[in-house]
A and B are shown apart, each in its own frame.
Chain A
Amino acid sequence: MSRKLVYYLLLFSSLTVAQSNINPDISLIGTFDTYTNFIKDSPDYGKLLFDIPSFELYIEGYLNPYARAAANIAFEEGEFSAEEIYAQILRGLPLDIQIKAGKYLLGFGKLNTVHPHAWPFVNRPLWQQIYFSGEGFNDIGLDVNFILPTSDFYSTLDLGVYTGQSMAMNTAGEDADADEVRGNSLIFVGRLGSFFSFDDFNNLEVGLSSSFGNYAKSSFYIPDSVGFPEQMLKYYYGGFDFKYKYRPDSYTSLVLQGGTVLNYRDVIRGTESEPAVETITTYGAFVYIDYQFFKIFTLGAKYDYTFGIIGDDYSATTLSNDDQNKTSGIEVWFNYFPVEETLAFKLSTQYLYFNFADNISKDGETTVTLQMIFSLGPHKAHQF
């Protein structure tokens, strides 16, 4: 992985130098977590724990008047990875379309394209952990963005096609062999987003998202000896998202944001000797409120709900294939930003509780996290 990473960096930096004598913007976002949990029977119950510090190195800039490129190299849990590397054609194309190509966080919902350090909360929404995996919906492909001819409000349509490696990871974990899990077939992701500005202080964005394709081969779940004819297991995600912000001045703001996903997919059921493909429908949702006051503090709360049990192992009946059991969560936080976004401290408490269909009992889990985030380098203005 490190050799690949060095290759990506060299390739990217040679491209940028070849295109322009002007240096790209380089930023470093570092995150350090200390936390404790109150999980019954956990060996770390009540102990103060420290995560390995992580960082994201952003390199971005204009290639020429028509295109930009960006790379985000992440160091997490002691390993490097290329989280995003892409180029974007911004102008000069017919119908004012923009094209983005490479590896990046996909535009399903509004939150998925926002990097975790920019969230007001610490913990990824539960349904994203189940249906996207822990790293978000991140894949390799290309996307065409259309600006729609609506005169009174801003509306865009994104249509993208991707390799589907994200679905392989969601099915079998980060180290999944995509060929073994799902073969070679594309997935599709789209979002229709509209932004409404009611006045100078109140703004609302809503979006509808969709994704579909094959997430696994049936033979991944069923041993060959059964003789079950191989077929592709399909999935369909539908999503709705919204973000409302009231911002009367730079010292105060109120954000209400949420997102849902409907998961409709083929799953393997039956017995080992008589497996069958069935269709399940599950869903997840989150909503949060975040209140900024005195410019440097925020206070907030999030409610989460999803099918699937957080922390389960990957299998034909768990996580995104689970239509029986549910996880809910509440997270509250208090954040302190002493100087804009250069430094942030987030104190978060999350409580997860579980609902098993077959009366299994699992105690709730409480995690308290103190997160420090620093930002070194030029800061782009914040997207709504």
Chain B
Amino acid sequence: MKKYIIIFIILICSLQLQSQINVVGTTTTVASLAKIVGGEKVSVDYICRGDQDPHFLEILPSYMMKLRNADIVFKIGMDLEKWLPQLIDGSRNDKLKLIDLSQEISKKEVPTTKTDASQGDVHPYGNPHYWLDPENAKIMAEEIYSAFSSYSSNDDAYFKKNLDEFKKQIDSNMKEWAKKTSSLKQKNIITFHKSWVYFTDRFQLKIVENVEPKPGIPPTPSHDASLIQLIKKDQIKIILMENYYSDSAPNHISEATGISVVKVPINVYGIESVDSYIKLMDYIINQISKNG
């Protein structure tokens, strides 16, 4: 009998040691980075699908269930996930740890004057689309590593190894990505929404206009007309846009000018084949270089 009790105790302890950290990422990119760093020590889920606009999400109770069972939730921050507080409230998970991955990010387009709705949907803390710069993905991975290491210090070495491998992959791919985008260096491009400043600054592209007349405001015929004139005058080659926006206005502009509309996911699993951060950047850069 004593033997069975001892075996039972050892079994329970080993199960506890092997239990995973339950993680939720607000976006698929965040979840993907968490899985890269956490490996088999974490189980990961996400809230916003890769092909969904993370600005606007309906509060579904099923999202609250995901957070209810989670230990850590990672968010992009900078007011991108306005829906998150209601989900956390609904989950009633007192033990849930919320980690903002923007803490160490060097933020761009931080408003220096009072913002209001006349400027469109302006993010008051700066442009939150920072994950589109691979260097920022490394910073996000480091934040994730710190969180995991605090949560499970026994596995610190394992998480560090995964982090270092990821950073090495980014560094080795950066050379290839820079080479592919070199033909568009310092060239003007148009984007649909103001999501791309971190990406374009990294790869030295220049955004001269957006299809949205102001952030979050649908395209208008008069603004489309001014874009058509600009494209013809400056010989702009591409409109870069997220695949969850309607391409109706960009296609109309393309018909008038011959400009290429480059429609890409901006999150992992934004299309099925893009199942990792590296593949996401590969896809975006390949599409740009193919059409630029």
Contact = CB atoms under 8 A, between A and B. Distances in A.
Interface of A: 68, 90-92, 96, 98, 147, 153-154, 195, 197, 200, 203, 205, 247, 249-251, 294-296, 338-340, 342, 376, 378-384
A249 B59 CA distance: 15
A91 B246 CA distance: 40
A381 B61 contact: no
B94 A250 contact: no
Binding site of B, secondary structure by majority: helix, strand, loop or mixed?
A: loop
A295 B246 contact: yes
Given A250-B52, A381-B82, A154 B61 contact: yes
Interface in B97-145: 117
B56 interface: yes
B117 A251 contact: no
Nearest to B49: A200
Residue of B53, B57, B58 contacting most chain A CB atoms (<10 Å): B58
Contacts of B117: 342, 376
Contact of B62 (A197, A250, A342): A197
A382 B59 contact: yes
Query: Which 7 pairs between the two chains have the least Cβ-Cβ distance?
Result: A154-B61, A381-B83, A197-B62, A195-B61, A96-B92, A383-B59, A90-B89
B60 A203 contact: yes
Residue of A68, A295, A338, A339 contacting most chain B CB atoms (<10 Å): A339
B244 A250 contact: yes
Nearest to B82: A381
Nearest to A150: B65
Contacts of B68: 147
Interface size range of chain B in the complex: 20 to 34
Contacts of A382: 58-59
A154 B69 CA distance: 12
B92 A250 contact: no
Interface in B37-60: 49, 51-53, 56-60
A91 B64 CA distance: 14
20 contacts: A90-B89, A90-B92, A91-B92, A147-B92, A153-B62, A154-B61, A154-B65, A195-B61, A197-B60, A203-B62, A205-B61, A250-B52, A378-B82, A379-B82, A380-B82, A381-B83, A382-B58, A382-B59, A383-B59, A384-B61
B114 to A, nearest CB: 15
Contacts of B52: 250
Nearest to A377: B117
Contacts of B82: 378-381
Given A96-B92, A203-B60, 15 more contacts: A90-B92, A91-B92, A98-B92, A200-B49, A205-B61, A250-B52, A339-B217, A340-B56, A376-B117, A379-B82, A381-B82, A382-B59, A383-B58, A383-B59, A384-B61
Interface in B206-254: 216-218, 244, 246
Contacts of A195: 60-62
A379 B49 CA distance: 22
B225 to A, nearest CB: 19
B59 A381 contact: yes
A250 B56 contact: yes
Contacts of A153: 62, 65
Given A68-B89, A249-B244, A381-B83, A340 B61 contact: no
B18 interface: no
Interface in B58-77: 58-62, 64-65, 68
Contact of A381 (B51, B56, B216): B56
Contacts of A378: 82
Interface in B74-99: 82-83, 86, 89, 92, 94
Residue of B49, B68, B92, B246 contacting most chain A CB atoms (<10 Å): B92
A249 B89 CA distance: 26
Contacts of B49: 200
A373 B9 CA distance: 64
Contacts of B246: 251, 294-295
B57 A381 contact: yes
Nearest to B65: A154
Contacts of A90: 89, 92
B56 A384 contact: no
Nearest to A205: B61
Contacts of A251: 246
A92 B89 CA distance: 11
Contacts of B57: 381
A342 B89 CA distance: 25
A325 to B, nearest CB: 39
Nearest to B121: A340
B217 to A, nearest CB: 6
Contacts of B64: 154
